Every structure is written in structure tokens, then in C-alpha cells.
Structure 1
Amino acid sequence: MDFAGAYSAGNLAYLFQGLLMTLFVAFLAIILSFLIGGFLGIIRYAKIPVASKVTAIAVETIRNLPLLLIIFFIHLALPEFNIRLGIIGSAITGLTIFEAAMLSEIIRSGLNSIEKGQIEAARSSGMTWVQTMQHIILPQALRRMVPPIVSQFISLLKDTSLATVIMLPELMHNGQGVYAKNVNYVIPIYLLLALIYFVINFSLSLVAKRLETRERKNTKTTGKVLPAKDKAAMQG
């Protein structure tokens, strides 16, 4: 094992370039998958006769396919139909499609967790379906969905390493390029890669746990504490 050689300035700079690519691909995939997944989740929640069924079939199909297969298909099969996205585009597209399907289920479940009584009360007060979604359902559901969504984003960040099979110059790919120069670099590089992934993902998991704890406290508070006017009314 040659830690000094593996951790030379040139090698560390090369790994840092890979880390930036990993974060760039993950960031774009997170934004796009959240937007698409949110749209799909709302369609399924709304139970639109045809659209909801078609969306459900598409989502369940994608969720039961390996991510690696989706990346391979986009990068190698789509060019047969004159659709070429390039390495970075294929990686982002594959991750977005897969994670959007996963997020759509999280979002649909979060929307379904809102009590029907609140929805009925909002509709009976004259609010439209869109207004009910905007002011009643989504604000509460989003708070409940944050922890599992963050956990899914952690999975997405780790899944970027799968794109090394199509030669995406991300962290894992560049790490392989470093230890390919010298067999004595293998263990030091893998230890460093593991540390980098751990620090990033553990930090995100701490955020998810804190958000989950906060949501539990808010749920207990809203479930047990009555407003002052309600207390006065009960006492009167």
C-alpha cells in the first residue's frame, strides 16, 4: 500500500474533479426527479380515470427495473433511434427517470396521509380542488414527506457511481483511473472514496433524522395541544 503516492496532489485533484461531476449530476437529477415525481404523484393521487392508471403502470414498471439497465438502455439503445444524449445526459436522464418513479410513490403516500376530514371541510367552505391542494394538502404533506425524500436523495447520490459503466467521469470512475496506475493505490483510494461517500451521505442522513424528529414533535403538539380559545370554550 502506498498512501503517499495515492494521495499525491495530482491524484487528489483528479478525484476532486470526479466529486464535482458526481455532485453536478446528482443535483440536476434531484431537481428534475422531484419535479417529475411530484407531477406523477399528484396525478396518481387525483385518480384521473385514464391518466392515473397509465401513470401507475409506468411508475410500477420503472420501479421494478434495475437502474443499471435503464442507464444502459438510454446510452446504448436510444442511439439506434437517433437519440443521442451523451454520457452526462444519459446518466442524468437515467437517474431522473428512476428516481422520479420512486419519489412519485413517496409523494402519493404523503398526500394520502392527510386526513379526509380536512379536505372535505375545505371543499365545503367553497375552496376549489386546486386551492385545497395548494393551501391545505400540500403544505402538510410536504412536511411529512421531507425525511423519506431526503433519504431517497441519499440513494440517488450513491447511485451516481453506477454511471461509471458508461464512463461518466464521476468520483468512482476517477478513483478507478487513479489506482489503475499502480496496484499499491487500490486500498488507499478505496478507503478515501468510502470516506468521501460516508461524509456526504451521513451528513444528509443527519438532516433527514432531524427533520423527521421535528415532524414527530409537530405532530404530537398538534394532536395534543388545543388552542387557547378552544380551551376556554371547554372550561366555560
Structure 2
Amino acid sequence: MDFLSAFSWINIRFLLDGLLVTLQVAVVSIILSFIIGGILGVIRFMKVPYLSLIVGAVVDIVRNLPLLLIIFFTYFALPQIGIQLSIFWSAVAAMTIFESAMLAEIIRAGLLAVPQGQMEAGRSTGMTYFSTLYYIVFPQSIKLMLPPIVSQFISLIRDTSLAVIISLPELTHHAKIIYAQDPSAVLPMFVAMTFLYFIICYSLSVFAKRLEQKWAV
């Protein structure tokens, strides 16, 4: 098989099937981790007695664990305690756990970056704590949070390739199947994966820059 023949329609379609799974895992994980990470970040910011300390400890532990270890945990360890997940949902669970911890810290840092006087000014006008947080503090902090949040989401998309270890049928897994059948297809498959990952991540970066400019107006 020469270089160009490796890009047959059958191989391309097989890679695109894997890319679809990659995007499905990434999108579901992004949505769940943004919700969970947002809640955890706000709890840490609010400094709720005991609860914030517990959340902070959990977040710090998860942030310092390898993602691969968390993937192993969700796929191999959870069934030992009666929680049986499919390969897809094991990958989603692992990505969500890891990214939620990362986003929680980003969101907490973003909220802390807003001058305390903004919160005090809102409360002095009679607004509740949560109203001040939502209408005054959060809109100012989102400008600071957006770049690292998008960067984290881009990392998540790339990190889905780690789920190949549990045979998730994503892009990297499908590429491995192709070049396992024909070793001469190794280089073409790596070129194809590089191109597809670049297109997705670059598009997300461009979208983030435009969104950031919109928020800055």
C-alpha cells in the first residue's frame, strides 16, 4: 500500500466513524464537566463552612491524578463496587471527573480575580448575594475565565485518545486498527489524525477568540 492508497474511502469513512465517537465523548464530557465544575467552583469561591474545604480537597486530589488512572478507575474499579458502565460512559465519566476538577479551579480563580469591592457594591444596593454574584461578578469574571476554559476543552478533545486503552472506538483506536492490518499505513494514519485533531482544535480556538472579542465589547 502506498501513501495515497491508504486514504481510500473505506479507511476515511472508518476514521470519520471514530472521529464521531471522539466528538460525542468530548461534547457530553464538556457539558457535564462545565455544569459540575461550575457548581464546585462557586462552592469553593463562597467558602461555605466545611463544604468548601471538602470540595477543595477533592478537587486538588483529582487535579493531581493522571487522567489515565481515572480512566482505569471508571472502567475497571467501579464494576468492583457494583457500578457497571459501558466503554463509552466509562470514558465520559473519567473525562467529566478530571475536567470538572480543572474547571472548578479555573472558575474559582476567575471569580476571585474580580475586585471584592464589586461584590460589596452590589450588596450595598440591596441585591442578594447570589444576585450580585450572577449579575455583577460573573459577567466580569467570564472574560478572564474564557481563555483557560477553552484551552481546557481543547485538551479534553485531545485527551479522548487516552481512552484507546479501554478500546473506546474513537479516532486513535480506528487508526490503530487500520495500520495494524497494514504497517505501511502508519504514516498516512498519523497524518490523517494530525489533520483531524488540528481542524477541530483550531476551529474551537477561533470560535473562542471571537467569543472573547464579543465579551470584551
Per the normalisation by structure 1, the TM-score is 0.88
Give the distance between the partners of 2:213 and 2:148, measured in 1 at CA: 12
1:178 and 1:185 in contact (8 A); partners too: yes
Question: How many residue pairs were aligned?
Answer: 217
1:6 and 1:179 in contact (8 A); partners too: no
Q: Does 1:92 align with 2:97?
A: no
Q: Does 1:164 align with 2:167?
A: no
The equivalent of 2:75 in structure 1 is 75
* CA distances 1:174-215 after superposition (whole Å, capped 9, x unpaired): 000111110111101111111111111122223334445566
The equivalent of 2:154 in structure 1 is 154
The equivalent of 2:175 in structure 1 is 175
Correspondence list, 1:51-200, <5 A: 51-200=51-200
The equivalent of 1:39 in structure 2 is 39
CA-atom RMSD in angstroms: 1.4
1:175 and 1:189 in contact (8 A); partners too: yes
Give the distance between the partners of 1:2 and 1:150, measured in 2 at CA: 38
- 2:80 is paired with a residue of what secondary structure? helix
1:3: Cα distance to partner? 2.2
- 2:84 is paired with a residue of what secondary structure? coil
* CA distances 1:38-94 after superposition (whole Å, capped 9, x unpaired): 000000000001000000000000000000000001100111111111100100000
1:2 and 1:188 in contact (8 A); partners too: no
Which range moved further: 144-153 or 25-34? 144-153
1:151 and 1:208 in contact (8 A); partners too: no
1:133: Cα distance to partner? 1.2
Give the distance between the partners of 1:144 and 1:70, measured in 2 at CA: 29
1:41 and 1:105 in contact (8 A); partners too: yes
Moved segments of 4+, more than 4 Å: 210-215
Which range moved further: 27-36 or 138-147? 138-147
* CA distances 1:116-157 after superposition (whole Å, capped 9, x unpaired): 111111111111111111211112212321121111100000
**Fraction of identical pairs, as percent:** 52
Which letter maps to 1:63? R
Structure 2 segments unaligned to the other structure (5+ residues): none
1:4: Cα distance to partner? 3.2
Which letter maps to 1:3? F
The equivalent of 2:23 in structure 1 is 23
Bigger radius of gyration among the two: 1
- 2:70 is paired with a residue of what secondary structure? helix
Which letter maps to 2:148? P
- 2:181 is paired with a residue of what secondary structure? coil
Which letter maps to 2:105? E
Give the distance between the partners of 2:78 and 2:4, measured in 1 at CA: 44
Which letter maps to 2:107? I
1:21: Cα distance to partner? 0.4
1:147 and 1:211 in contact (8 A); partners too: no
Per the normalisation by structure 2, the TM-score is 0.95
